[in-house]
Structure 1
Amino acid sequence: MSQREDLLAGAKKCLAEKGYSKTTARDVAAASGAHLASIGYHFGSKDNLMNTALIEASGEWGDAFEEIIRRAEPTNPRDRTRLLFASLFETLPAHRELMVASVQAFAHSQFDEGLRAALSEGIVEARRELSALILGVAPEEVSPDVVAGLGSVVYNLVTGYVLQYLVAPDSLPTADQAVAGLEALLPGGDGGADR
Structure 2
Amino acid sequence: MGHREDLLEGAKRCLLRKGFVRTTARDIVKESGTNLASIGYHYGSKDALLVQAYVSLIEGVGESGDRGWGAGDVDTAPLGSLERFQEVWANVIRSLPESRAIWLLSFELVLQGDRVPEVRRMLGEAQRDGRSGLAALFTGIPEDELDDETVETEGRFYVTLLNGLMTQWLFDPDSATEADQLTEGLRRMIAGIRPDS
Same fold (TM over 0.5): yes
Which residue number corresponds to residue 43 of structure 1? Answer: 43
RMSD, aligned CA: 2.0
Q: 1:87 aligns with which of 76, 91, 113?
A: 91
What pairs up with 1:133-152 in 2 under 5 angstroms? 133-152=137-156
Q: Is the 8 A contact 2:70 2:91 kept in 1?
A: no
Structure 1: gaps spanning 5 or more residues: 190-195
Q: Is the 8 A contact 1:80 1:133 kept in 2?
A: no
Q: Distance in 1 between matches of 2:127 and 2:73?
A: 21
Which residue number corresponds to residue 124 of structure 1? Answer: 128
Aligned length: 189
Q: 1:141 to 1:40 in 2, by over 3 A?
A: closer
Q: Answer yes or no: is 1:73 the counterpart of 2:76.
A: yes
Q: Distance in 1 between matches of 2:154 and 2:74?
A: 22
Q: Distance in 2 between matches of 1:139 and 1:127?
A: 10
2:105 counterpart letter in structure 1: A
1:13 counterpart letter in structure 2: R
Which residue number corresponds to residue 193 of structure 1? Answer: none
Q: Distance in 2 between matches of 1:147 and 1:99?
A: 22
- The alpha carbon displacement at 1:67 in A equals 4.1
Q: Distance in 1 between matches of 2:5 and 2:146?
A: 32
Q: Distance in 1 between matches of 2:156 and 2:47?
A: 27
Q: Is the 8 A contact 2:12 2:53 kept in 1?
A: yes
CA offsets, 1:88-130, max 9 Å, x none?
A: 1111111111111122112222233322222112211211221
More divergent stretch after superposition (124-133 vs 149-158): 124-133
- Aligned-residue sequence identity (percent) comes to 34
Q: Distance in 2 between matches of 1:79 and 1:122?
A: 29
- The alpha carbon displacement at 1:35 in A equals 2.1
Q: TM-score, normalised by structure 1?
A: 0.87
- The alpha carbon displacement at 1:173 in A equals 2.4
Q: TM-score, normalised by structure 2?
A: 0.86
- The alpha carbon displacement at 1:145 in A equals 2.2
Which residue number corresponds to residue 15 of structure 1? Answer: 15
